[in-house]
Chain A
Amino acid sequence: DTGVSQNPRHKITKRGQNVTFRCDPISEHNRLYWYRQTLGQGPEFLTYFQNEAQLEKSRLLSDRFSAERPKGSFSTLEIQRTEQGDSAMYLCASSYANNSPLHFGNGTRLTVT
């Protein structure tokens, strides 16, 4: 069990550029979540996959954000036309079942300049 893996760990980009992050969940976990966290705040839910199906997406999420999990294993989160307000830590988490705790990766820290 290598845990949830995210890359890159850090990303600096200029405003207006597109960025893509990757998450590899724990192998037997079929549920995958993306969260965003800013300094001094708790993680904020973005979206949820069960296997390859995206079952829930936050209403607060801009349409510049899109996530995929094409084969029900790894997932990608893309942000198009980045804005300075997108600067945050993007956390991925996975779980085995509805009643089991979420296991988080170490996150990707995005800085938009």
Chain B
Amino acid sequence: GQNIDQPTEMTATEGAIVQINCTYQTSGFNGLFWYQQHAGEAPTFLSYNVLDGLEEKGRFSSFLSRSKGYSYLLLKELQMKDSASYLCAVRIPLSGSARQLTFGSGTQLTVLP
């Protein structure tokens, strides 16, 4: 089976930095994605890691260690609009060229003033 773990909830203060961790144990690995989802809306793509290391994209950075089955999403200079669910997802090879994105349950981040 596939197992992707992330904390259920986190709270942080506006202007601060927050790190959301994700650990995974999957039958294969073809990349790790982070998505943001506001309540009642579609998940939107934030970042993608396929090799070990840090990927930086403005206020958002994502880190991957494949040997440890571990990733984190780092959000800097938090804003109220960053309050949302953050989904960690692992792309798993299927038969042939098919790929499947398997999601964790999401981390609900609340940013306080």
Which A residues lie at the B interface, using CB under 8 A? 4, 33, 35, 40-45, 48, 50, 55-56, 91, 98-99, 101-107
Contact = CB atoms under 8 A, between A and B. Distances in A.
Nearest to B43: A104
A101 B45 contact: yes
B101 A55 contact: no
Contacts of A106: 41-42
Contacts of A42: 4, 87, 89, 103-106
Interface of B: 4, 8, 30-31, 33, 41-45, 48, 50, 87, 89, 94-106
A104 B44 contact: yes
18 contacts: A35-B103, A41-B105, A41-B106, A43-B87, A44-B103, A48-B94, A48-B100, A50-B98, A55-B94, A55-B96, A56-B98, A91-B42, A99-B31, A99-B50, A102-B33, A104-B43, A105-B42, A106-B41
A101 B33 contact: yes
Contacts of A33: 101
A26 to B, nearest CB: 13
Contacts of A48: 94, 98, 100
Contacts of A43: 43, 87, 103
